[in-house]
Amino acid sequence: MDPSHQQIYLDYNATSPLSLAVADRLPELASRFFANPSSPHPLGRGTRKMIEQATTDLSRFLHVAPNQIIYTSGATESIQTVISSFLSPDTPSRSIALPRTEHPAVLSAARMFEPGGAVLHWIKVGPDGLVELDHLKELLRQRPDLVSFCAANNETGVLAPVQQICTLCHDAGVPVHVDATQWVGRLPWPQMPDGNGPDFVSFSGHKFGALKGCGALIVSPRMTLNPLIPGGGQQYGARGGTLNTTGIVSMGLVAASLIENPYPADTVRNVRDTMEDQLLEKIPEAVIHARTAPRLPNTSSVAIPGRDAEEMVHQLARQGISISTGSACSTGKLSPSHVLLAMGVPTDLIRSTIRISLGPLSSSMEVDCLLKAL
């Protein structure tokens, strides 16, 4: 590839570039706030203050109390912490209800406890990728120990009715974990009435402009967890290990900047919808998965029948355009997307499906280049 060729990045669901709110402060953060935040000396106190400010900003951003936030290395660890806490062999009864459309971070965390006797109940999803609420109600009668679902699907962008699912689960006395990794930073996290929100929420910093290797788990005050990493008892004993100061502060800086200047959801949706209209005009046989379902404003999962998705991704990459075949984690694997399979999409159409995920600054010009190249 010609390095002077301008790059067009349309793979924001895999990761997003560093927010300017972080990039501008990074050298200072790395050089001035290096001390261990648990240390009692002035340098340690300085670092601790930065973390406290980040926690305040994140708690305002997500409408939770500061002491509900547990910092982790990212969504994968947050998810693993919750699921292990409910399904590990030392817990008395072990069952979880979840849709098959979950991210592999959730699926593999749940499946690893199956050989030890944990029971997985699969919640049906419709052809639009939405959880079938009647089936969830049926499963809730079996009183699973936990329900876990994704707020916004990473491949299709389909949004779950978070509040409605939480209410159904709580009415049945079942705690809920929400994987909000693709939602946080793109849509406002809903302010839910006391006791009605999710019991656990997982997310990663790098999906919304913070550094990689940091994330958080929000735990409701009525819940306790077995730590996955007890370590030195940091973070109320919920997660050991020296805090990742730069990562945590980067999440706080992005949260503060998004409180001031919210993610431009309407603009991004406009660019995405226009792109989909134009694509269907040019290629009428193209299929946009879950187009009628509520979706993230930035995500488009598009099948172009007769074309091979991997080949399209590589050809576009040669022209400086970065998109994906689906979840970043499954790229490179030849198995068809489990998300689209669960929605009943035929395998040949899945193999022709690419994922285009826009960012706040993605322009119509960039999208035009993509359409021309396609």
Phi, psi of 93 (to 5 degrees): -115, 140
Alpha carbon 213 to its chain centroid, in Å, reads 14
Neighbours of 370 (CB within 10 A): 20
With respect to ligand PLP, which residue has the nearer C-beta, 166 or 339?
339
Nearest one of 277, 318, 282 to 300, comparing CA atoms: 277
75 or 159: CB nearest ligand PLP: 75
Q: Least distance from C-beta 57 to ligand PLP, angstroms?
A: 20
CB of 72 vs ligand PLP, minimal distance in Å:
9
Q: How far is the CB of 204 from ligand PLP (least distance, A)?
A: 3
Task: Give the β-pairing of 146-150 and 176-179.
Answer: parallel
Q: Which of 157, 226, 168, 166 is nearest to 190 (CA)?
A: 166
Select 154 or 250, whichever has its Cβ closest to ligand PLP. Answer: 154
Alpha helices (runs of H) in the chain, residue ranges in sequence order: 20-23, 26-32, 42-62, 75-87, 104-111, 133-140, 162-171, 245-260, 265-282, 309-318, 338-342, 347-350, 364-373
Nearest CA to 322 out of 11, 5, 3 is that of 11
Cα 356 from Cα 326, distance rounded (Å) = 9
**What span, in angstroms and rounded, lies between the C-alpha atoms of 98 and 106?**
9
- If the CB atoms of residues 8 and 160 are measured against ligand PLP, the closer one turns out to be 160
Shortest Å, Cβ 324 to ligand PLP: 10
Nearest distance from residue 208's CB to ligand PLP, in Å?
Answer: 11
Question: In the complex with ligand PLP, which residue's Cβ is closer, 105 or 162?
Answer: 105
For the sheet with 95-99, list strands across it.
69-72, 215-219, 200-204, 176-179, 146-150, 95-99, 119-123
Encoding tokens for residue 138? Answer: 């049926």
CB of 142 to ligand PLP, least distance (A): 26
Are 210 and 57 spatial neighbours (Cβ–Cβ below 8 Å)?
no
Catalytic residues: 329
Q: Which is nearer to ligand PLP, 126 or 213 (CB)?
A: 213
Query: Minimum distance between the CB of residue 48 and ligand PLP, rounded to whole angstroms?
Result: 25
The SS3 of residue 188 is: coil
Angle (CA) 158-161-166 rounded to 5° is 135
Q: Which residues bind ligand PLP (CB under 6 A)?
A: 74-76, 103, 105, 150, 154, 179, 181-182, 204, 206, 327-328
Token digits of residue 279: 């694509």
Two structure tokens written together for 184: 């946080």
User: What SS3 class is residue 218?
Assistant: strand
